[in-house]
A = this chain, B = another copy of it.
């Protein structure tokens, strides 16, 4: 269904941006994994609004509570329910949305589909829904790290036309986390931050690209045909709010090369096979080949702007709407932990699927 992701490490998120809270049920987690809220909270803090001057100022502590599935600090193998209460609801800020659809938000399409919507916020279309994903992703990352030696990273690669240099084979978490935009190229990061601040001041918004990286994935994860590793990554990324595009390895730019140029030659050294280039992005025929997996995800500029824009009301009459109060000039810094989480969820699911059939 709409709210469940994964086959063997399966998460079901629930909750609206306004209501009792948001959360996730994680089913299929191996037993005996050490797990407390402290394993999850740091990633939620990286996803949290209000963490810096360049992101949404909504005030939420986003404190996670484990409601089930652990005992004595270890997982039981049974469903783990994680819950984060909503705190900064402020429904009054949304009064105008009761009667008007925000352009390029999901207000209209939810209404068209369901004939009802929680107009006190974006409902399930809100970035707030990703709390559950990031929380579950923290567990997935822990499993990948501890049981498989796999490191999952993401970073901001581009903001509007500002492009960072990132080497997927070498980039380090600490360099990514060393600035508030989460871009490891410090020179680019400074320019990005300035651009985003300008957007905040002018009431406008800006988009960009997040690069996702997985290092240490052994050859053999993924499935032929429909559940190719890159297909599941693409779905995972396009399921994130505001994402518009996905490319793996050479991606769109690979089409400017011929086959001779684009093929990744295999070489062997001490019984290990590797490729001397990595246009494939670490996946061939849907299955990991042991090289670094890397891909890019485009996020559109946030739709809420502090300017009057044409729209329609719920009676389908023409009107205008202007964002008021707080706005989020750029989703990218907070999208970084979301991309990490979804990457980890895809990988751990495929790790288990591989073990089930070929282990």
Interface pair B249/A2, CB less than 8 Å apart: no
* B31 with A358: CB separation less than 8 A: yes
Size of the chain A interface, CB-CB below 8 angstroms = 158
Tell me which of B67, B109, B228, B257 contacts A15 (CB under 8 A).
Answer: B67
Stretch of A50-58, A166-174, A180-188, A263-271 on the interface side? A263-271
Q: Is the CB of A310 within 8 A of B259?
A: no
Query: Do the beta carbons of A246 and B254 come within 8 Å of each other?
Result: no
A159 to nearest B CB, angstroms?
8
Taking a contact as CB atoms closer than 8 A, the residue among B224, B247, B301 that contacts A262 in the complex is B301
Complex CA distance for A147 and B195, rounded to whole angstroms: 49
Complex contact B267–A78 (CB within 8 A): no
Assess the B1–A81 pair: CB atoms within 8 A: no
Bound form: Cα–Cα A122–B79 in Å? 15
List of B residues within 8 angstroms of A41 by Cβ? none
Known: A15-B81, A209-B252. A309 touches B114 (CB 8 A): no
Flag if A265 contacts B32 (CB, 8 Å): no
> B115 touching A71 by the CB < 8 A rule?
no
Contacts of A317 in B (CB 8 A): 268
The reply to whether A68 and B19 contact each other, CB–CB distance below 8 Å, is yes
Contact pick for A230, options B79, B238, B252, CB 8 Å: B238
Q: How far is the CB of A223 from chain B (nearest CB, A)?
A: 3
Among the listed B14, B31, B254, B268, which residue makes an inter-chain contact with A79, where contact means beta carbons less than 8 Å apart? B14
A266 to B105, CA, bound (A): 11
Q: Write the nearest CB–CB distance from A137 to chain B, whole angstroms.
A: 13
